[in-house]
């Protein structure tokens, strides 16, 4: 897992793209792996200059959240998805964040989606 999180932070965009997707496999490794992977994914979702990397991070965060109990890490991850859905400049990233929240079924995320869609977002 450490090589994947390091690649997500420092490698070229093509490697960051695949590292983000590969980190979704941490769900099968276990809770500790999910917790360790989440900070790098959230940081990349918020800051990566390449929209495809941000999209993959949104998808992966959604996959991992499905395996987490409702705790601080889960809430922080949902916050990052909400932020990406509401604020990312790329439609694809917003759509992937929305899809991730819909799959997780988090009430807070669903409420934000409904509110923004009612506003014509």
- The domain spans of the chain are 2-118
| Other CB atoms within 10 Å distance of the CB of residue 70 | 10
Read off the pLDDT of residues 76-107 as tens digits, 9 standing for 90 and up: 999 999 999 999 999 999 999 999 999 999 99
Whether the Cβ atoms of residue 74 and residue 109 lie closer than 8 Å to each other: no
Would you tell me which CATH number, out of the four given (3.40.50.720, 1.25.10.10, 1.10.10.10, 3.40.1180.10), belongs to the domain 2-118? 1.25.10.10
Measure the CA angle with vertex 61, ends 57 and 67; round to 5°: 155
Give the global pTM.
0.93
- Residue whose C-alpha is closest to residue 61's, from 82, 46, 78: 78
């Amino acid at each position: 897992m450490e090589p994947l999180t390091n690649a997500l932070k420092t490698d070229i965009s093509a490697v960051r793209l695949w590292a983000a997707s590969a980190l979704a496999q941490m769900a099968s490794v276990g809770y500790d792996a999910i917790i360790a992977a989440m900070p790098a994914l959230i940081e990349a979702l918020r800051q990566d200059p390449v929209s495809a990397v941000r999209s993959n991070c949104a998808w992966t965060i959604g996959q991992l959240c499905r395996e987490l109990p409702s705790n601080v890490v889960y809430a922080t991850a949902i916050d990052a998805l909400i932020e990406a859905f509401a604020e990312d400049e790329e439609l694809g990233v917003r759509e992937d964040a929305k899809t991730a929240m819909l799959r997780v079924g988090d009430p807070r995320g669903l409420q934000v989606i409904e509110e923004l869609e009612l506003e014509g977002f």
